[in-house]
Amino acid sequence: MARGRRRGGVLSPAYFIRRASINKGLFGDDRFWRTIFFIIFGRKVLRKFMGTGPEVVALEKLKPGQFVRIEAIDPRTLDSGKKRRKK
């Protein structure tokens, strides 16, 4: 689905910041605007790769008489990849 036209247009501050970060930072030599560019466009790239919405694990149709059981894992039992220090 195509996105609609953004609100604000050329006169919006967000448009000015995006354009300045591209022109002065990416194509120019200004480190400040280059940092702004990577912050603005880096967020978009991270969202695209990391995902911002819920992840569908399974999709199945239930027949009459079937049921669904949903369980969650206790977060205290999950290891976050870091070894815990023993006290």
Nearest to 37 by CA among 19, 11, 60: 19
Q: What is the pLDDT of residues 8-51, one digit of tens each?
A: 677 888 899 999 999 999 999 999 999 999 999 998 888 888 87
Computed on alpha carbons and rounded to an integer, the radius of gyration of the chain in Å comes to 23
Task: Give 2 or 70, the one with higher predicted confidence.
Answer: 70
Residue whose C-alpha is closest to residue 68's, from 56, 55, 79, 58: 58
Q: What is the mean pLDDT of residues 76-83?
A: 65
